[in-house]
Amino acid sequence: MGLQSNEYLQVADKGMAAYRAPSLTQPHKARQAIRDAYEGKINPIIGYYCGISSIPTARVMAQMGADVVWIDWEHSACGVETMTTIVHEIQFMSEGRTMAFVRYKWSLYIWYQDLMINIFDRLPGHDHASIGYALDAGASIVIPQIDTVEQAQHVVTAAKFGPTQKGNRSAPPCRWLPGIGDTGVDPTRSVWENVNDQAAIIIQIESEEGAHNLDAILTAVGDKIDAVWMGTMDMRVSMGYDGFWGPEPRFLEIVELYRNTLKKHNKPDTGMCLGGEWEKGANKAFVIVGGDAFAFLGDTATISNARDHLAPLASKVHMNGRG
């Protein structure tokens, strides 16, 4: 990962600002932060989920003290400009104490009778441009629904600069301007080399095919993949099951295969841990513990309780001038 240092020694005082780049327009040294958490040098990276495309809400999240805000660009109705602004608000308003991770949108297009048709928003096309948009904003990325080695290789190619990293990502000419935003963590290397080693890539395994191919995926490009996330909801939907978790033997076999594959490749696990069920976050280096939509959902009980506990006002019937 290039220049090695002791950022982890400063985390107690600085939070993730210990891993920030010289310019907050660049991604943090997120790859190093995940590895430090995995090796027990720092606590697990604690994340908050931004599922609603609201810039003012993101400004509040930036001040909450999370290590990461996970921006769900895949499932939200926002464009490149809004996503980029949310990334900047999180990293700028937190003064680097919070890192932005973007789960990005992607599409697969085919040509049919001279017309370009978008087949599905969630087919495994892993759009090259969308990866660049999120990384150019200064975020690290989360890649949904990786099923094959070829898909993982495409993601790495789109995310990395230069052939030595097996990449063909286009250099953004107006993003890290000379003398303004291009100062590198390691001044002996170019901004492109530095950024390659800063931004993290987390892949999501969300199907049986992906779980069975994970060993081959990590064998092929594991040095470029920083962590893995099993999307249990999509995994279970693809298997014909409901909910985030369940006792079905077929599902539990896939979970065991997934965990054993990560152990084989010494790769960090990541996931979600909501409602104080801390055991679900055990042995994970990167954990999402709450989010905007979940907070709203929790207040539905508050509204219901209010109806139960706030009695009707006393009747105020005025007759003949008397109350």
Please tell me the distance from the alpha carbon of residue 42 to that of residue 238, in angstroms, as a whole number. Answer: 35
pTM: 0.88
As to burial, measured by CB atoms within 10 angstroms (0-12 exposed, 13-18 middle, 19+ buried), residue 323 is: exposed
Query: Predicted confidence band at 320 (pLDDT cuts at 50, 70, 90)?
Result: low
At residue 143, does pLDDT exceed 90? yes
To the nearest whole number, what is the mean pLDDT of the chain? 89
Q: Give pLDDT, residue 180.
A: 84
Q: Give pLDDT, residue 110.
A: 38
The mean pLDDT value for 200-220 works out to: 97
Q: What stretch of H or E contains 272?
A: strand 269-272
- Interval 40-84: pLDDT, tens: 999 999 999 999 989 999 999 999 999 999 999 998 888 999 999
At residue 36, does pLDDT exceed 60? yes
Please tell me the distance from the alpha carbon of residue 72 to that of residue 77, in angstroms, as a whole number. Answer: 10
Domain boundaries of the chain, sorted by first residue: 7-309
SS3 279: helix
Rg value, the chain, Cα? 22
H helix runs in the chain, sequence order? 11-14, 30-38, 55-61, 80-93, 128-136, 149-159, 191-198, 208-221, 232-238, 249-265, 292-309
Please tell me the distance from the alpha carbon of residue 159 to that of residue 223, in angstroms, as a whole number. Answer: 13
Domain 7-309: CATH class, spelled out: alpha beta
